[in-house]
Amino acid sequence: MNKKATVKPLPRLLAGVFLLLALAGIFYMTGRISGASRNVDWRRYGGDNGGSRFSPLTQINTENVAQLQPAWTYDTGDNKDTSGRGMDLQCQPVVVDGVLYGTTPTMKLFALDAATGEELWKFDPYEDPEVRPRYHPLRGVAYWEDKDDKRILYGVGPMLYAINARDGKRVTTFGKNGEISLHQGLGTVEELGYDVGLYSIRSTSPGVIYRDLIIIGSSVSEGGDGLPGNIRAFNVRTGELAWSFRTIPHPGEPGYETWSPDSYRKLGGANCWAGMVVDQDRGMVFLGTGSPSVDFYGGAREGQNLFANCVIALNAATGKKIWHFQTIHHDLWDHDIPCPPNLLQVTRNGKKTDAVAQATKDGYVFVFNRETGEPLFPVREVPVPVSPALPGEKPWPTQPIPDKPAPFARQFLKEEDITRRTPEAHDYVLGQFRNSNSGSKYLPPSLEGTLYYGFGGGAEWGGAATDPEGTFYINGNNMLWWLKMRENPALQPGYHDRGMVIYNTNCSVCHDMSNSARGAEAPFPDLKDVGKRMSAGQIHGLLYTGKGRMPSFQHLSREDREAVIAFILNRPSATPATDDIHRTDLAGPGPAAQDFPYQSPYLPNGMIQFRDPDHYPAIAPPWGTLNAIDLNTGEYRWSVPLGEYPALTEKGEAPTGTENHGGPLVTAGKLLFIAATYDEHLRAFNTDTGKEIWKYRLPAGGFATPITYQKDGRQYVVIAAGGVRYGLKPGSNYVAFALPALSK
């Protein structure tokens, strides 16, 4: 008998099946088969619940990234008027079931087909002409679903909206017609002594979802009218307040003794404006808080000031504190925790540990045991200067410094750090250096003036990315700032200029009026000659709606807005400040100037970034960096400059790095994507080496964090290109990149 005839057909069939399955696995990895399995979403701000900004996708990798090209562009329709600076577009969108959800510079929410960029719907919160618009950065949205109930939740001014993800309509069962007030849960008049509803609040970063709760922070004023920074949770279905955690404790609560007895009735801040992450299995939410008000003077808040400037772990269901760690005691330098923590796993002493890592404005990375809050690298309490201090100020005598990792940003200015770009630039900066205080970054603010790093990062809101191996990728800034305090003239006997009072309370923390040398890149413009650039009507419109980092001041009465305009334009207070606009729709119910919760006796000169006469940074480069840190060991894998000034590159200078705002995206394809820089490029770096291997000039600066996802077997990288920062042109587009389309 022929032996071949004895082979049974079943083993042959099984062998064929195994071969087909193996081939299918190979083609799946390259994204070349059909079916729903080819779709990989980006469902959360930060990519996942732990904020890793990491994707397992590999279709785009180090071997083929040079072939990356635009696949589609979506124009939001905003920022068409290029005569002004335009509105910020900083959104990191989410992708769910192949639909991309994002926001426009004027706060609209939209849904797109993630493969084509085709608009599916758009929601405008200001469609009703009776709703007064407020504009501010929106860095993302939150997605929640329960079977067929799918919702997008996002903040617009003082409101939180719930929108049906299928059709862009309001979820009318949420709050009142699909919206709730973010003033809820901050405190009553009886508790605080003032009505929180009269003051400004907004949410620039999206909340996080835990079961049927959305947990959210806020952005509030950093002056004497700053609201408390309570962390709140709202029911996703109904909008009802579920819990509120007070970051400035009231009498009888833990931490109250770390403040002056009445601080909670005078001061605000200690807010989480940068976003949060959630450990769903443990039911824990992790966040970082900012400085307490007022920035740069703490005479009314003697003590350590818990829970400002803290990494905090809360029970996500109840809001009860599990642990905290304070990164700055009694903050005098506006060292908010500027970005969400990252949840990751590291190996320490041969043991896998669930960890939480937090980058800071002054360039540190703190790494903690996720359950206990114990630092995984030693942290020392180091003595710091407490004098010369302003009258009434009592600086804290020590500050926490981690042994590892080494800081990714400069810590204090030395003479050898001063720019040598040209002899003239060097001499100019040297003169300022010798006439200012410098040295320890913990020098208390003074009337003489001090040069500092860190007011604008170190780390900023773009945050960090991590990979499964425990590598922490962070972009950082090395920018120098000049801070000079002054006495508050509004507190002098017989002083009655209401406009000056309002300006000092609301505006002076950011804006200078001394006509200091600032370029178009200045983050906060000098207001001395603002009347040459803007009419009174334009200024009032800006106060009314807000723009970019400047919040709306609708909480001020019309008369108070007019008074502050009269002051900055040096007009008599009796002269109408808004003579060239319609005033009928601008009346606000806001508080009178004398009713602000607190007036600081000392005020800053505005946030002045110190640059040389040609408006380049005043120090030697690098001015911006990209860093990879192994958090298993605390050692750096690499650090490279991020960005360049084209004019300097054309002169043959090596890339200097630039100030950068926006975060990194890391993929299993060994790629790190980041824009964020002054030169308006989106770049790809090899995560093993830090080498730049691809870049593309965006239609406007990409001051946002890119995302990646896969739909119908094709991987996309998308970023919002909104421009505006650093005095650059505004933009209105989302740009998607992919490899050339595969043949079918």
% pLDDT > 90, the chain: 72
pLDDT of 580 > 90? The answer is no
Give the pLDDT confidence score for residue 235 in this predicted structure.
Answer: 98
pLDDT > 80? residue 563: no
Inform me whether the pLDDT recorded for 272 exceeds 70: yes
Residue 740 CB neighbours (<10 A): 10
**Count of beta carbons in the 10 Å neighbourhood of residue 610:** 22
Question: Which of the pair, 20 or 371, is modelled with greater confidence?
Answer: 371
Q: Which helix (H) or strand (E) holds 123?
A: strand 119-123
Pairwise CA distance, residues 383 & 378, whole Å:
16
What is the rounded distance in angstroms from the CA atom of residue 517 to the CA atom of residue 506? 22
Is the pLDDT assigned to residue 737 strictly greater than 50? yes
Q: Helices then strands (H, E): number in the chain?
A: 8, 41
What is the pLDDT, as a whole number, of residue 111? Answer: 98
Contact indicator for 480, 618 with CB cutoff of 8 Å: yes
**What confidence score (pLDDT) does residue 85 get?**
62
When pLDDT is averaged across residues 704-721 and rounded to a whole number, the result is 98
Mean pLDDT of 204-212: 98
Whether the Cβ atoms of residue 694 and residue 682 lie closer than 8 Å to each other: no
CATH number of 1-85+463-475+622-744: 2.40.128.630
Pairing of strands 54-55, 665-667: parallel
Cis peptide before 458 (omega within 30 of 0): yes
In the predicted model, what is the mean pLDDT of residues 511-527? Answer: 54
pLDDT in tens, 623-664: 999 999 999 999 999 999 999 999 999 999 999 999 999 999
Query: What are the extents of the domains in the chain?
Result: 1-85+463-475+622-744, 489-599
Give me the pLDDT at residue 525, please.
63
DSSP state of 418: B
Q: How confident is residue 455, by pLDDT bands cut at 50, 70 and 90?
A: confident
- What is the pLDDT, as a whole number, of residue 29? 39
pLDDT exceeds cutoff 60 at 523: no
Q: Which tops the pLDDT comparison, 462 or 552?
A: 462
Q: What is the mean pLDDT of residues 608-617?
A: 92
Does residue 201 register a pLDDT over 90?
A: yes
Mean pLDDT of 68-85: 85
Average pLDDT over residues 497-513: 66
Look at residue 515 and tell me whether its pLDDT is greater than 80: no
Selection from 28-37, 488-497, 498-507, 710-719 with the highest mean pLDDT: 710-719
Residue 730 has pLDDT above 50, yes or no: yes
Pick from 722, 689, 690: nearest CA to 622: 690
Report helix, strand or coil for 532.
Answer: helix
Tokens of 339: 């970005």
Positions of E strands within 238-350: 241-245, 276-279, 284-288, 310-315, 321-326, 342-348
**Tens-place pLDDT, residues 315-343:** 999 999 999 999 999 999 999 999 999 99
What's the whole-number average pLDDT of the chain? 88
**Res 528: pLDDT:** 65
pLDDT of 187 higher than 80: yes
* Rama region for 177: left / alpha / beta (φ>0; ψ in -120 to 50; rest): left
Choose between 132 and 462: higher pLDDT.
462
Specify the pLDDT at position 569.
76
Range in 29-38, 157-166, 513-522, 698-707 the model is least confident about: 29-38
Report the distance separating Cα 157 and Cα 182, nearest Å.
9
Taking 80 as the threshold, does the pLDDT of residue 104 lie above it?
Answer: yes
Query: What tens digit of pLDDT does each residue of 541-562 get?
Result: 667 666 665 666 666 767 777 7
pLDDT of the residue at 552: 64
pLDDT of 513 over the 70 cut: no
C-alpha dist (Å) from residue 474 to 16, 523, 673: 48, 22, 12
Residue 517 has what pLDDT? 44
List the beta bridge partners of residue 345.
Answer: 354
The 10 Å Cβ neighbour count of residue 325 is: 19
Mean pLDDT within 370-389: 97
SS3 399: strand
pLDDT of residue 241: 98
Point out the least confidently predicted range of 151-155, 318-322, 538-542: 538-542
The pLDDT-based confidence of 224 (bands split at 50, 70, 90) is: confident
CATH class (in words) of the domain with range 489-599: mainly alpha
- DSSP lists the bridge partners of residue 278 as 285
Q: What is the pLDDT of residue 101?
A: 99
Considering 190-204, 544-558, 605-619, the range whose residues carry the highest mean pLDDT is 190-204
Residues 437-464 have a mean pLDDT of: 92
Peptide bond into 622 cis (omega under 30): yes
Residue type, 352: K
In this predicted structure, the answer to whether residue 34 has a pLDDT above a threshold of 60 is no
Mean pLDDT within 458-463: 96
Give the distance, in angstroms, between the CA of residue 339 and the centroid of all CA atoms in the same chain. Answer: 6
Question: Which residues have a Cβ under 8 Å from the Cβ of 149 and sit 6 or more positions away?
Answer: none
DSSP string of 324-362, one letter each residue: EEESSSS-SS-----S--EEEEEEETTEEEEEEEEE-TT
> How many residues are listed for the chain in this entry?
744
